[in-house]
């Protein structure tokens, strides 16, 4: 296919594809999906080999958010039965982080619900960052605390943070349909603040919210313009009790095409499979490793993920290797002092990684075999273990 050959050549040269080419990737048929994966896989292997970076989320403060992001289980007015708790103490957060590090995670992503941190919150998170770094040698730490005010990114950097995450989530044209309590421009400003402070910027998207192909291409091209080191790709998990509860728009093949498009547009950045991979990619998750070079280990913010051991087995069985702390994630030209960028390796995900379920942890379970194209609500489970509970984390 001439399109794919062209995109591979451009990806190896770090040349931006045209919007028409990116749209054409999303428009390919299910019959062509393996060809698309094989082509984007050449770009992924050129820049990242067969390494997979593991990241681990620690939800420092869960629920009760004043923002109205339609996709989020922690939003204002959410009826999802998620865990709700205030700030973890530094030692509690460090113990949670240690579980992820022991499971192979190279980076810990510290996330807190809310519009953005107060100065007191920044002090609190700074103490947590220092504690984690003291107790877990070699770990990278990313913070994800919402919209930043002037000077806060610099303070997090001084405390030892390596990166800051704030996702664009969707296109500028449709952002107001998803969230009304802050703007797309607010999010861009926070990513720029992270860049300016010397933090590795991490910013991504959420697919499956009813957006068009044009919206997906718009947000990915906007991300390329912002030049984050890491682009997490979340797949919406429709929460019962949120406005997007009935948005089941993704198939495994659609998810693979989206990941391939992101890889072609952002060939040399850390592309991460984030929230929703188990629900929407399902048994095709190993194919996604040929497109993305980074995943989250274990559970997400408010939802349960695949068992940590199963993650590691999947990576090994697919012929990939877990990236160790002795390896740099990004290509040399993106490292400090390199010719093409200014930061280190990227980070995690914020609001798009939640889920909904009944109190027993399973929603809509069925004994019958799933049919092609049917929503897999049986794969959605609220997190009831790990941070904020007395139960051991999944890592």
Q: What is the DSSP letter of 339?
A: S
Task: Give me the residue label for tokens 């075999």.
Answer: 369
Residue 303 pairs with which residues in a beta bridge?
382
Which residues carry out catalysis?
A: 65, 69, 72, 109, 142, 202, 272
Q: 374-378 long-range contacts, Cβ below 8 Å, gap at least 24?
A: 375/238, 375/248, 376/279, 376/280, 376/282, 377/248
Residue 31 CA, distance from chain mean position = 28
Burial of 16: CB neighbours in 10 Å, binned 0-12, 13-18, 19+: middle
d(CA 391, CA 393): 6
- Nearest CA to 325 out of 339, 312, 344 is that of 344
Would you give the end-to-end CA distance of the chain in angstroms?
A: 41
């Amino acid at each position: 296919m001439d399109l794919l050959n062209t995109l591979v050549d451009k990806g190896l040269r770090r040349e931006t594809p045209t919007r028409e080419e990116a749209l054409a990737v999303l428009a390919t048929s299910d019959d062509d999906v393996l060809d698309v994966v094989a082509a984007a896989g050449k770009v992924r292997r050129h820049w990242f080999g067969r390494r997979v970076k593991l990241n681990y989320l620690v939800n420092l403060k869960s629920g009760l958010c004043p923002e109205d992001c339609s996709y989020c289980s922690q939003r204002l007015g959410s009826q999802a039965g998620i865990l709700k708790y205030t700030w973890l103490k530094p030692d509690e957060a460090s113990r949670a982080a240690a579980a992820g590090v022991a499971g192979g995670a190279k980076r810990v992503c510290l996330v807190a619900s809310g519009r953005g941190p107060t100065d007191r919150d920044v002090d609190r998170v700074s103490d947590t960052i220092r504690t984690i770094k003291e107790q877990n040698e070699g770990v990278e730490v990313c913070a994800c605390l919402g919209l930043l005010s002037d000077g806060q990114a610099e303070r997090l950097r001084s405390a030892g943070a390596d990166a800051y995450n704030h996702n664009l989530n969707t296109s500028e044209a449709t952002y107001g349909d998803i969230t009304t309590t802050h703007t797309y421009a607010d999010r861009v400003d926070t990513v720029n603040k992270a860049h300016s402070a010397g933090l590795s910027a991490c910013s991504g998207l959420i697919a499956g919210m009813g957006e068009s192909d044009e919206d997906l291409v718009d947000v990915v091209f906007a991300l390329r313009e912002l030049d984050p080191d890491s682009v997490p790709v979340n797949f919406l998990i429709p929460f019962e009790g949120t406005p997007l509860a009935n948005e089941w728009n993704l198939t495994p093949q659609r998810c693979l095409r989206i990941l391939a498009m992101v890889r072609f547009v952002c060939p040399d950045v850390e592309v991460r499979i984030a929230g929703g991979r188990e629900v929407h990619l399902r048994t095709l998750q190993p194919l996604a490793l040929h497109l993305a070079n980074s995943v989250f280990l274990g559970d997400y913010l408010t939802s349960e993920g695949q068992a940590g051991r199963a993650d590691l087995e999947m990576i090994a069985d697919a012929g990939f290797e877990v990236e160790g702390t002795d390896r740099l994630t990004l290509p040399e030209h993106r490292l400090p002092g390199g010719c093409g960028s200014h930061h280190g390796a990227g980070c995690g995900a914020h609001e798009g990684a939640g889920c909904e379920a009944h109190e027993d942890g399973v929603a809509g379970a069925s004994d019958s075999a799933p049919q092609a194209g049917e929503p897999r609500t049986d794969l959605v489970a609220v997190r009831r273990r790990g941070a904020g509970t007395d139960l051991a984390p999944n890592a």
